[in-house]
Structures are given as C-alpha cells and as structure tokens.
Amino acid sequence: MDRNSKMVRQRIISAHSDLQTGFFGKFFIVLGILLLLLYLVETLLHPLGLGDAVTGALLAFTILCIGLGVILYFFACQFAKLSEIAEEIESDESLVDEEETKKEKPSP
C-alpha cells in the first residue's frame, strides 16, 4: 500500500448522518420523564402497591433513561455542528485538493 492510497479513504459514515441520535435522545428523555412520573405517583400515593425494591429499580431505570437521553442529545448537537463544518469545507472552493486538480488536468 503506497502513501497516496492511505490518504484517500472513502467515508463509511457520512458527515451529514447523525445516526438517529436526535430521535433516540428525545425518546429516552421522554421515557425517563414518564418513568419519573410513575415513580413519583407510586411513591406518594401507592396505587399499585409495589414494594421498595421495585420502586428502587424504577428510580434506577428513570435515572438511566434520562442520562442516556441527555448524552444522546449532546451527540446529536455535536453531529449537527460536524455537519455544518463539513458543508462549509465542501462548499469552500479555496480548499481544492491538489489531487483533484491533477485529475482534472491530465499531464502531457
């Protein structure tokens, strides 16, 4: 493998793809909020009569879902910034690669 083939790599994942982190972030935040409401109702009113172990597990899953949702939302924001940067680089004509200009102009 020569040096030029290492430098020219195809992207496996597009810079404009956010891997659905925005959707999953919102999903886990909403799920965490619903679990939090269920935990608060169960703790205050005891309509289901769940034991302490189950309510503790419910609280643990609430914290995990909200935490995962916040992390995925952060990733979605970072992917959005990456997409903006990639679009600026792709649209900037002053950053034309030497390899691209060589391909367009065949040497005699």
**Measuring CA to CA, how many Å separate 61 from each of 4, 10, 12, 32, 102?**
50, 40, 34, 8, 57
Q: Identify the H or E element spanning 22.
A: helix 21-45
108, pLDDT greater than 60: no
Model pLDDT, residue 94: 72
Across 72-95, average pLDDT? 85
* 43: Cβ contacts below 8 Å, ≥ 6 apart: 55
Amino acid at 16: H
Average pLDDT value for the chain? 83
15, pLDDT greater than 90: no
Q: Both tokens of residue 49?
A: 């009569």
